[in-house]
Structure 1
């Protein structure tokens, strides 16, 4: 389904933003739970700590970027708008994903120590998702 100039320019709906946010959060949660389970089951905690906290934090950060990139890409590709509005839609999807993760973390763990890294990762991934759609769109940017 290609985009034509006759299509109505619009922003994503609330449902689209939330679906992208929950998808991004779901990817992060699934990867963290599965990897945490494997690490614990295999008794690899010491080996993980041997890498140092910077490497672990970098992987955590990259996971958030990639998951938000996927979620925001899938949201933004549904709309037809100017490049800045596409990027904004991706950014808002990333922000919504952060809010979902923060609320979930506070409800379950009563803390969210990696909050800043998750926020930066989700926002970066959201921007990348919006940019990806705007760059691969067959339309000329306007």
Structure 2
């Protein structure tokens, strides 16, 4: 099973923000002439790192997009590729269901209407909908 398109949802670099903010606070305390509170800054770094790790984990779980030979994955929802009838020039009726379990397309993502084999229309979403459409077309041909 090969991956034809992939958006991870988030990169791991925000986890480094905690130690960077803590190091900046530590250096500011040093520059101010005070004795820095090292243990406090270690706890700040650890706490912020845990917070941002949870944030990255959630984004990777709920905002990841992938197309393989057999399925389209949008967040936690999986749709078999053989159910997709069309990914081009599909009108979007009002109240169309969004894939991934959300009420709307996630912010900073673009919708891509898909017509399924039973005639229903659903909204897929991606940061690059043209590449997603091309990957779905490629998956449908294989």
TM range (shorter): 0.3 to 0.5
Bigger strand share:
2
Bigger helix share:
1
TM-score under structure 2 length normalisation: 0.34
Looking at both structures, which has the greater relative contact order when contacts are Cα pairs under 8 Å and sequence separation is at least 6?
1
